[in-house]
Amino acid sequence: MNLKNFTWSVDSDGIALLTWDMKDKSMNVIDVSVGEDLNAAIDAAVADPAVKGVVITSGKETFSGGADLTMLDQMGKTLAASAKAKGPEAAMVDFFEQSRQFSLVIRKLETCGKPFVAAINGMCLGGAFEITLGCHARIASDNPKLRVGLPEVKVGLFPGAGGTQRVPRMVNTQDALQMLLKGDQLKADRAKAMGLIDDIVPAATLIEAAKARLKAGVDPKKAWDKDKFRLPSGPIYSAAGMMVWPAANAIYRRETYDNFPGARAILKCVYEGLQVPMDTALRIESRYFANVLRSPQAQAMIRSLFVSMGALGKGLRRPAGVPASQLKTIGVLGAGFMGAGIAYVSAQAGFDVVLIDRDQEAADKGKAHSQKLMTDQVNKGRATSAQRDALLGKITATPDYAALANVDLVIEAVFEDPAVKADVIKRAEAAIRPEVVFASNTSTLPITGLAQNSVRPDQFIGIHFFSPVDRMMLVETIMAEKTGDKALAVALDYIKAIKKTPIVVNDTRGFYVNRCVGNYIKEAHLMVMEGVPPVMIDNLAKQAGMPVGPLTLNDEVAIDLGLKILKATKLQVGTQAVDPQQEKLLTFLVEQEGRIGKKAKKGFYDYPDNAKKTIWPGLKAFVGSQQDPDEINRQEIIDRLLVTTALEAARCVEEGVVTDPREADVGSILGFGFAPWSGGTLSYIDMTGTKAFVAKCDALAAKFGDRFAPNKLLRDMAAAGETFYGRMNKTKAAA
Ligand code: NAD
């Protein structure tokens, strides 16, 4: 048999071993040829009477991460092209058939009459897990890194190769829905407890155990293909079903606000599919899958959350020709809130760290942060105390700048004060080797200005982390006027080593991410001043798809920080740069009421110990009167929040702050969770349609003021019928 991605051998007991081991790939991924190979292997097993059963395993360290999403991305694009050529209906028929091929292969495996056992040796996700669910038994190795799951919902899709039908026929509806809607990855013991895996065996005996199971006899007919099959939770239209479904619908809406077609399809597939026999159920699933796959939301999410994020992580923006950086030791200046986090993630990545603060006590305090985070990990069983000690051994906390003599990269995170930063830059540059790159983690000071304190401005760059550093995946890299390629390459090599996703932007006040999120929060402040009930603002933001409402977010990042930035902007840019209503609100909260945010347990909300936050009643008294919630146009609130944020991204493009739409989108989702269903700020505009977006801006500007006035770039694009992805890709191709 001629297989491209698998090897096939049959032992003397008539048990075939089908080993998935793709050439030239470090991991197995599902593409069209994998489906073809599987199909051929099933045919071979059926045709050969000597084959009693088949064990499917992987020749890689992991089983497989699932489908090649770039293939699905491509399928969506092909559909659009073929709709133009053949007409939408014929194109959709082809698309439907094409998108269910893999599901049909798995069904063929399930019903071919020969037993298949999956021997899962490592991580097995998405379509790969769906292959194993089609098998007649699943044995997992005791590999601690093994995870199984169906995470498709996280990129806007859902399991479309039988996952939504087999899981709820194997486990109770509640657990099945939770697993499918959350996209959780399960450890082997949890999967076994749920009934998704039959056995866990030592890694060395995995194949042997799978073969032994086949020899002992595995029924090649699934329970649901036999008469009298009973669903684990009973029929949908039963007393038990009525306990589950109304609640499931409510939870789904609470968690997603119905923003994600993929999540909605899961609920529908399970509900409809459990009422019909398996083949019909799979056809229902396929119909939803084809529809979701071609939805703008799924297309945008796959593009941003998988394709673009992957490309950025692999070094899309790294200048070619600069040799790989040899980084061993990182110097971190300032062991405060951010510096302590940067030291931790650097040590986690295996770097030695020199952590400097003004005195030993402050430096030690920064190191204690790593001790705390690692101790938490130890307590949760995720790390050993030896690992904690090893990590702490990597961090040298000291006030002595001379300790920077051997560092390979410096990141400063001292007070946000130009004079303090200038002093630190001078002292550090006097201690480090001449070729070492200096990075600033400032969040508001333009890097070009800071670089004027440096004797080697070409080696000066911004590396802007987000808090909390250990959890936020984005790092914004800022090019100052004179920053050179080497500094950029070093910064990107470092960010890759700490396993975060970089975007590269050009220097401006607030850079990219904070400019956008600043608008989001400012709009909420202005709404408060207009008398929109504050809780309604936060709730509608969540309905728009934002993970955290703007007022809650402001409490979390600190209101006094916002006021400080406002004052600095007024001083440096001018009074016109600040909205007086916003200034009035923040001054009242911070200077009159001491309500600086969650850190003080009082901001827009009160944060009582051991109880949920509640909105501060004083806000209503300050504003005077509040609007009647029933009279408020909710869609308008949602539009204002999304439009003001996306509009700022469009301004950043026009000003050359952002040069690639993929960075704008990924930065907005990873930086502050901009409505992930949209694919990010620029995808949101593209999805709305530039013309419609400009019309929305104009309508909002007429009602709420010039801050909504679309910029020239948007007007030009609307007139020319352009999208950001179309236009910016064209510019790149021409360059
Ligand atoms: P912080 O006040 O918690 O920490 C600053 C630390 O710098 C303090 O420990 C202080 O003792 C130390 N320091 C001051 N002068 C020093 C000197 N001369 N030498 C050595 N250490 C010195 O502040 P932070 O929130 O960690 O912010 C630090 C930087 O990170 C700022 O530039 C800020 O804009 C930026 N930043 C902050 C956030 C955030 O969410 N807080 C996010 C991104 C970036």
The verdict on 494 and 375 lying in the same domain is yes
Q: Which of 508, 523, 548 is the last residue of a domain?
A: 508
Atom of ligand 1 nearest to the CA of 561: 41
Task: Give residue-wise pLDDT tens across range 184-227.
Answer: 999 999 999 999 999 999 999 999 999 999 999 999 999 999 99
Residues 376 and 471 in one domain: yes
Tell me the pLDDT tens digit for each residue of 109-166: 999 999 999 999 999 999 999 999 999 999 999 999 999 999 999 999 999 999 999 9
pLDDT of residue 129: 98
Residues 504 and 561 reside in one and the same domain:
no
Res 732: pLDDT: 63
pLDDT for 681 beyond 80:
yes
**CA distance readout (Å), 153 to 95, 178, 183, 547, 693:** 20, 11, 6, 16, 27
In a domain, 220, yes or no: yes
Identity of residue 124:
C
CB neighbours of residue 95 within 10 Å: 21
Give the mean model confidence (pLDDT) for residues 681-700.
98
Task: For residue 290, give the nearest of 31, 77, 92, 71 by alpha carbon.
Answer: 92
Q: Evaluate whether residue 461 is within a structural domain.
A: yes
Between CA 426 and CA 434, with CA 432 as vertex, the angle to 5 degrees is 95
Residue 320 placed within a domain: no
CA of 485 to the centre of ligand 1 (A): 27
For the chain, how many helices (H) and strands (E)?
Answer: 32, 21
pLDDT category of residue 733 using cuts at 50, 70 and 90: low
- Within 13 A of 270's CA, how many CA atoms are on the CB side? 33
Q: With bands split at pLDDT 50, 70 and 90, how would you rate the model's confidence at 275?
A: very high
The domain boundary residue, chosen from 466, 485, 508: 508
Domain boundary among 491, 508, 525: 508
Distances (CA, A) of 104 to 38, 43, 164, 245, 278: 11, 13, 14, 28, 12
Query: How far is ligand 1, taken at its centre, from the CA of residue 338, in Å?
Result: 6
- Specify the ligand 1 atom closest to the Cα of 339: 26
- Per-chain mean pLDDT for the chain: 96
DSSP string across 297-364: HHHHHIIIIIIIHHHHHTTTTSPTTSPPP---EEEEE--SHHHHHHHHHHHHTT-EEEEE-SSHHHHH
Question: What's the average model confidence in pLDDT over 232-247?
Answer: 94
203-225 b/e (C-beta count within 10 Å ≥ 16 → b): eeebbebbbebbeeebeeebebe
47 Cβ contact partners less than 8 Å away, ≥ 6 residues apart: none
Instruction: With a cut of 80, say whether residue 497 has pLDDT above it.
Output: yes
Q: How far is it, in rounded angstroms, from Cα 292 to Cα 310? A: 22
Token duo for residue 218: 């595995």
Cα separation, 401 vs 380, in Å, equals 36
Q: Report the DSSP beta bridge partners of residue 222.
A: none
Residues 143, 251, single domain; the answer is yes
Task: Examine residue 316 and state whether it is found in any structural domain, yes or no.
Answer: no
Q: How confident is the model at residue 82 (pLDDT cuts 50, 70, 90)?
A: confident
Is 321 inside a domain boundary? no
Separation of CA 63 from chain center: 23
Separation of CA 413 and ligand 1 centre (Å): 4
What atom in ligand 1 is closest to the CA of residue 340?
A: 26
Q: 598 or 733: whose pLDDT is higher?
A: 598
* Nearest protein Cα to ligand 1, atom 33: 442
Q: What is the dihedral of CA 554, 557, 558, 560, to 10 degrees?
A: -90
Q: What is the pLDDT of residue 77?
A: 76
CATH number at residue 166: 3.90.226.10
Residue 169: domain span: 6-294
Give the rounded percent of residues in the chain with a pLDDT score beyond 70: 99
Beta partners for residue 396, in sequence order = 354
Total number of domains in the chain: 3
Catalytic, out of 136, 369, 464, 525: 464
476 pLDDT band (50/70/90 cuts)?
A: very high
Do 490 and 601 fall into the same domain?
no
As a whole number of angstroms, the distance between CA 216 and CA 669 comes to: 51
Could you tell me if residue 309 is inside a domain? no
Residue 154 within any structural domain of the chain: yes
Asked if the structure places residue 651 within a domain, the reply is yes
Q: What is the pLDDT of residue 731?
A: 66
Same domain? 576 vs 632: yes
Q: Which of 109, 335, 314 has the alpha carbon at shortest distance from 225?
A: 109
CATH code for the domain of 717: 1.10.1040.50
- Is pLDDT at 724 greater than 70 in this prediction? yes
Q: Are residues 526 and 496 in the same domain?
A: no
Phi-psi map region of 502: left, alpha, beta (phi>0 left; psi -120 to 50 alpha): beta
The residue whose CB lies within 8 Å of the most ligand 1 atoms, and thus the one to mutate among 337, 447, 561, is 337
Q: Is the pLDDT confidence value at 485 over 70?
A: yes
Burial track 180-198 (b if 16+ CB lie within 10 A, e otherwise): bbebbbbbbebbbebebbb
Q: Are residues 477 and 608 in the same domain?
A: no
pLDDT band at 562 (very low <50, low <70, confident <90, very high): very high
pLDDT at 735 over 70: no
| pTM to 2 decimal places | 0.92
Residue 69 has pLDDT above 90, yes or no: no
Q: Domain check: are 623 and 713 in the same one?
A: yes
What's the pLDDT band for 392 if we cut at 50, 70, 90?
Answer: very high
Tokens (6 digits) for 271: 């509900």
Rounded to 10 degrees, the C-alpha dihedral 290/57/195/277 comes to 40
Same domain assignment for residues 697 and 648: yes
Residue 464 bears catalytic tag? yes
If asked whether residues 522 and 492 sit together in one domain, one would say: no
Alpha carbons 327 and 437: distance in angstroms, whole number: 11
In angstroms, how far is the first alpha carbon of the chain from the final one?
A: 48
Which residue ranges have their beta carbon within 6 Å of ligand 1?
Answer: 333-339, 356-358, 362, 413-416, 420, 423-424, 441-444, 465, 467
Structure tokens at 712: 């020239």
Give the per-residue SS3 of 382-395: CCCHHHHHHHHHCE
Same domain, 618 and 574: yes
What pLDDT score was predicted for residue 79? 84
